[in-house]
Amino acid sequence: MLHQQRLTSPEENAMDEQYLICRSAGHVFLEFTDFEIVERRGKLVSYKQESVCLRCTTERVQHIDGGTFAIISNTYKYPKGYLSAPGERITRRDARRALWK
């Protein structure tokens, strides 16, 4: 069980723990929606794929090359409270340490 003194309600504690799990182990992106599909002369040029983390609700959009299927770019939208304060950084090690307490 995660020891948290900085949060007050059980709902906040549960959500904060999910953030730490994602920071420690990575996100769980399983559901995808394809959009902005670009085709030229019947061939796929590129497309974007949107997904949501099943654990913490972070949203990810990947721009994918249609020829090589390589990821061109990733964009993320994090839920409120997920990001650390400016100038601070929470590493995977920090997250694992917080989950252990």
Assess whether pLDDT exceeds 60 at residue 15. Answer: no
Q: Tell me the domain boundaries of the chain.
A: 10-100
Q: What digits encode the pLDDT tens for the residues 68-92?
A: 999 999 999 999 989 888 888 888 9
Q: Which residue has the tokens 């996100």?
A: 27
Backbone angles phi, psi at 47, to 5 degrees: -160, 165
Say whether pLDDT at 4 is over 60. Answer: no
Q: What's the pTM?
A: 0.74
State yes or no: pLDDT of 7 exceeds 70. no
pLDDT tier at 14, thresholds 50, 70, 90: very low
With beta carbons less than 8 A apart as the criterion, state whether 29 and 49 touch: no
Predicted local distance difference test score (pLDDT) of residue 62: 96
DSSP state of 9: S
- Distance between CA atoms of residues 75 and 48, nearest Å: 10
